[in-house]
Amino acid sequence: MQVLVLGGTGTLGRQIAKQALDAGHAVRCMVRSPRKAAFLQEWGCELTRGNLLDSDSLAYAIEGQDAVIDAATARPTDSASIYSIDWDGKLNLYNQCRIQGVNRVVFISLLEAERFRSVPLMDIKYCTEQLLQDEGFDFTILRSCAFMQGVIGQFAIPVLENQTVWISGNSTPIAYMNTQDVARFAVAALSREQTACGSFPVVGPKAWNTGEVVQLCERLARKEARVIRVPSALMQSMQGLVSFFEPGVNIAERLAFAEVTGGGMRLDAEMEASYDAFGLDPEDTTGLEDYLEEYYSSILKRLRELEADLDKNAKKKLPF
């Protein structure tokens, strides 16, 4: 199958591209900077330059494709509003799909988007789901919640390096999932008729609150964390302040997401129906504890090797 992957340079998108190649699909990735996406080409992906706001580049990217896997989203470093890329861009995308007769779409959405319409990214995900349904696409919607890769920067590294761990809002149990496992669902959807015109939760095997994640990192890193909890009211004040300035619009919209991750509402779902529909084995899904254990094991081993090399070099410099 000829598959266009959008968001191919992202944490999830690159896993989707790799697994689609491994499954025997011909993969094309539309990227803003081919130079930064050279690794995708080395894997075997075809690269085309473009972005969601450029209809001509979209038309070129979609031409000849059988399906689209949409994992694209605005970057934290983008100065424009999330609505510009994640909504206006998606309207462009699906309009071009209609024009060129590409009806099969796999869309990466967010769990409980309909309950958080006041949060820009959740509102956009909800509206995009409705668009796919109303326009008659042969869609599969994957509703994820949070990726394990994000735990590394937010918790694992700060604990290991004796930095402060910042936590906002109320304790919220979240079923983190490895992007490699989310990618398995996205690629499996291409060959599973049971997933057509359906929406499925795609979440990890267990929901963890922030306190449990910090304790897990402390145990694996053998260090004690310094935790500072930021009140929800302060986050809302910061959001209101930065939204006054145009360059801070994207930041304000992302700060609003703290309402989801720190709102206290459990982000988890039953996965039995999802595994059945996609023909996947839950035993193959990575748990957060195993994921972090492998991460810390690898990092600590490297640190020990580095210390050993430094000791050797220091001894070589001794005058006796």
Q: Is residue 231 situated within a structural domain?
A: no
Q: What is the CA radius of gyration of the chain?
A: 21
**Each residue's pLDDT tens digit, 235-254:** 444 344 333 334 333 444 44
Is 238 part of a structural domain of the chain?
A: no
pLDDT per residue as tens digits for the range 7-64 = 999 999 999 999 999 999 999 999 999 999 999 999 999 999 999 999 999 999 999 9
Dist CA 26 CA 272 (whole Å): 30
**Helix 210-221 vs helix 288-316: crossing angle, to nearest 10:** 30
pLDDT in tens, 90-133: 999 999 999 999 999 999 999 999 998 888 889 999 999 999 99
* Structural domain span for residue 137: 2-146+173-206+267-286
H or E segment at 233?
A: helix 232-242
Q: Is residue 293 part of a domain?
A: no
Q: What is the pTM of this model?
A: 0.87
Residues 6+ apart with CB under 8 A from 175: 145, 146, 203, 204, 205, 206, 207, 208, 267, 268, 269
Overall number of domains in the chain: 1
Asked if residue 68 is part of any domain, the answer here is: yes
In a domain, 34, yes or no: yes
